[in-house]
Copies of this chain bind each other. A is one copy, B any other.
């Protein structure tokens, strides 16, 4: 009997230039390239054991045995990894997040990055980081961006191999802080996988995608040059564009809660007051307030004083997914 175990840690990431809509749903080839930073301190930790004597794959998530779709989604990823690694064994997967699942902090990104890295690690085989980003992408598109370190770009690509992510700046390059205003820690009504498929039902998606390369270039340059004002303008615009597509899909997807709008307005007002802060929202109501380290405490204490927030997290720029 062969058993091999590995544990991997991966961080969620917050996109500066968003991923919304695919050119190929099965391969999760995105309609446009995206940019993100990993979130230090928030993490998924996944221990995976390949064992010949298991009769089926199993998943324990946050101490609860999973079945149904959450399990099936992991099984599909394990099938991909088995095929790539030449394995036939089933796997026992035990995973824990230290942040709420499914509420706009990209839990699936961290989960599938950690799962992919643990699955490869437990096999004893060494895959390139670039290949790991493509394999993670098959489980959850944005998981590709949680594999490399720091500030990450994910190229859209027109094939499985071409749609990979890589780091373009290390965490130490620019000490940004993401102050996360948690407005709901419940599950979203419409998950991202279904949401991506709906993107093309908005008459605005085509224009959003057509303009994405220009936003990507402007945002990447702003990060490289540590130009916060340009960064803030393009990050908020990109978030607004994505949510505009969501709200004009058929049927419409509203991820914003009233309190999301209040925080967005507060962030714009504080930036007008001189704080280096801007907002972005993923497919959920929580507001990620991206700021320079010098202003992080002012942003945090301001948010803590607002009504209707469940919690406020702070995350610096995080490192890569890695085996422990």
CB proximity to B under 8 Å, residues A225-251: 236-237, 240-241, 243-245, 247-248, 250
> In the assembled complex, which residues on chain B have CB atoms less than 8 Å from the CB atom of A261?
254, 256-258, 260-261
**Assembly CA distance A206 to B206 (angstroms):** 11
CA distance A208 to B257 in the complex (A): 24
Are the CB atoms of A252 and B265 closer together than 8 Å? no
Binding site for B on A (CB under 8 A): 203-204, 206-208, 210-211, 236-237, 240-241, 243-245, 247-248, 250, 252, 254, 256-262, 264-265
Q: Which of B203, B206, B243 contacts A241 (CB 8 A)?
A: B203
Query: A259: which of B203, B211, B252, B258 is its contact (CB, 8 Å)?
Result: B258
- Whether B248 and A247, one on each chain, are in contact in the complex, defined by CB atoms closer than 8 angstroms, is no
> Chain B contacts of A250 at CB under 8 A?
237
**Once the chains are docked, how many angstroms separate the CA of A192 from the CA of B258?**
24
A256: B residues at CB distance < 8 A:
261
Please, which residues of chain B bring their CB within 8 A of the CB of A208?
203-204
Known A204-B208, A206-B207; 7 more pairs at CB < 8 Å: A203-B241, A244-B244, A244-B245, A254-B265, A256-B261, A258-B262, A261-B261
Task: Write 17 A-B pairs (CB below 8 A) sorted by A numbering.
Answer: A203-B208, A203-B241, A204-B204, A204-B208, A204-B241, A206-B207, A207-B207, A240-B247, A240-B252, A243-B247, A244-B245, A244-B247, A254-B261, A257-B261, A258-B258, A258-B259, A260-B261
Residues of chain B lying within 8 A (CB to CB) of residue A244: 204, 244-245, 247-248
- Give min CB distance, A249 to chain B, whole Å: 9
Are the C-beta atoms of B236 and A240 separated by less than 8 Å? no
